[in-house]
Amino acid sequence: MKHYPPAGGLTLDQRYIIKSMLKIGYNQTEIAKVLGVHKSTVSRELIRNRGGRGYRPKQANAFSKERHQAKVRPRIDGGTWAFIERLICKEWSPEQISGWIKKNMDIAVSHEWIYQYILKDKLAGGSLYIHLRCKQKGKKRYGSNDRRGNLKNRVSIDQRPSLVDDRSRIGDWPARPHSSGAGGEADTIIGKAHKQAIVSLTERKSGLALIYKVDRRTKEKTEEAMRRLLGSISDQVHTITSDNGKEFGNHETVAKGLECDFYFAHAYSSWERGTNENTNGLIRQYFPKNRDFRTITDKELIHAMKRLNNRPRKRLGYKTPNEVFFGESHTVALTT
């Protein structure tokens, strides 16, 4: 059976043939035979693509292309992009958005498309780009030698159960150096001019991040922060692993109060404590190095924790830390 292409499928050369044969006096049926198309194709071509000065091949070709482009719907509609903008404004990364939408909405939007969308928005004067996470180039360590080796009764990470490394259970809160960002940790983040600090804890399996501001970076204040952050979920605290900073000097009291084991990583060995999330880098998105931590409010801390823990993570199959830590019933409130 012969296949007849639609009028929109005619080429510019075929349109020149139509023009020439019409000028000589051929009818539409004869023209169709020469082109190898159905006569209705020629008929539609002459009706749809004829201009005010008659049938002209180049003009007819342009009319056909315009009509075809008008019928082609964008692969990603405006409503989807509006939803993506909302997620960008919640500081979700393009990769997190792409993965979550694919999993939960069955819509394929690559993270590169989203980056391009943000770039176009920026070039047009938009502000979506400000929600992208800043690159952390510095590798400065706040844990200097004079603060290490002075902690009494430290238990080495070498004695920590091997199952902690497998991320097979909820309740292990390992550490990394202050700025290396290896995820899952008990750590402190320093504010402008080293005034005040944020104590951060990140659960290893789920990536759940907890943060608390202290007005002084002392062992007493750090102990208080850790007990406040973990006290209500102490049944989900099996181990804590920190770096060797003096602020963790009350580790024995913390371990006793939370009924958990407290371990210390080897000095300057961030590779042995890391998970895939740069938690401190993520927190820096909300509280940059030039921020005076004295101005940080509790409302800001809670807002940052909500944003961090309601972001889907690639390593969690695009579930959120809240969903993994608290259970599947803990869904993301995207509309709030």
pLDDT in tens, 32-81: 999 999 999 999 999 888 888 889 999 999 888 887 776 655 678 888 99
Residue-wise over 289-325: b if at least 16 C-beta within 10 A, else e? eeeebeebeeeebeebbebbbbbbbeebebbbbbbbb
pLDDT at 138: 40
Q: What are the residue ranges in the chain where pLDDT is below 50?
A: 1-7, 135-149, 176-185, 271-273, 275-277, 332-336
Helix (H) or strand (E) holding 35: helix 28-35
pLDDT, one tens digit per residue, over 286-333 is 888 788 888 889 999 999 999 999 999 998 999 999 999 998 655 544
Residues 181 and 271 in one domain: yes
Q: What is the largest CA-CA distance in the chain?
A: 105
* Same domain, residue pair 122 and 172: no
User: Dihedral of the CA atoms 121, 124, 130, 134 (nearest 10)?
Assistant: 80
Q: Which residue, chain included where needed, has tokens 């009924």?
A: 259
pLDDT tens track for 298-310: 999 999 999 999 9
> Per the structure, how many domains does the chain have?
3
CA-CA distance, 50 to 63, in Å (whole number)?
Answer: 9
What token pair was written down for 325? 């830590």
295 and 175 within one domain: yes
Are residues 26 and 104 both part of a single domain?
A: no
Burial of 333 from C-beta contacts in 10 A (0-12 / 13-18 / 19+): exposed
Q: What letter would DSSP give residue 11?
A: -
Domain boundaries, position 314:
157-326
Same domain, 117 and 183: no
Strand partners, 313: 319
Of 54, 71, 88, the position where a domain reaches its end is: 71
180 closest CA partner among 242, 49, 105, 268 = 268
Identify whether 152 is part of a domain: no
Residue 7 belongs to some domain of the structure: no
